[in-house]
Amino acid sequence: MDSKSILETKSKNIDGFEVSVTVFPGIHGLKIKGKLLRFLGPALGKAVSAIKQNKSGLSNVLDSEIDFGAIGEAVAALVENIDDNIINLFLELLANTSIDNQDVKKEVIDVKFAAKYFSLYKILLYVIEVNCFFGQRNIGELFAQAPNKIPKTRQSAKD
């Protein structure tokens, strides 16, 4: 029996794609996490500096004041780092993933995700979440909570 068959697999529908992700074996996962952090590091540094710390420090990020100009710089740092090495990292992240019962290979991505990049990013985030690369509190949870922390616009006088 190969190690992949005894590792946990999670499935989710993302934008109409049936996605199944099997966690990486420990050592391989550590290697991928290191590569991921090297890619995300410069952008994460800029993003953290965009958060104006409140009394609780960075422990309650969603309640903090955010410098959106610096967030823009963080996104720019992330995008400027995308090159062939990062594309290979994305392919490596997707190595234990199937989409609509097809193992993910470059050709599958080229066909299924032409002009559907945001769906591909969501799937990559799901792979990161399933592998707990950023701890047990998953990155998807933080994104799900964010809309609840954004102030609502004023209600009209009619309400």
Q: Which two tokens stand for residue 3?
A: 């190690």
Q: How far apart are CA 43 and CA 41, in angstroms?
A: 6
Q: What is the DSSP letter of 151?
A: P
| Residue 92 three-state SS | helix
Q: Quickly count: other Cβ atoms within 10 Å of residue 22's Cβ.
A: 20
Tokens representing residue 15 in the block: 């934008």
The pairing of strands 9-14 and 65-66 is unpaired
Q: Is 70 in contact with 105 (CB distance < 8 Å)?
A: no
What pairs with residue 59 in β-bridges?
none
pLDDT string in tens for the chain (159-residue length):
455 568 889 999 999 999 999 999 989 988 998 888 887 777 666 666 666 555 554 445 555 566 666 666 666 666 676 778 888 888 999 999 999 999 988 998 999 999 998 899 899 989 989 888 876 555 545 554 544 444 444 444 444
**pTM, entire model:** 0.66
Beta bridge partners of 13: 18
Question: Do 130 and 115 meet the contact criterion of CB atoms below 8 Å apart?
Answer: no
Give the model confidence (pLDDT) of 68-99 as tens digits: 666 666 666 666 767 788 888 889 999 999 99
Of the chain, the end-to-end C-alpha distance in Å amounts to 63
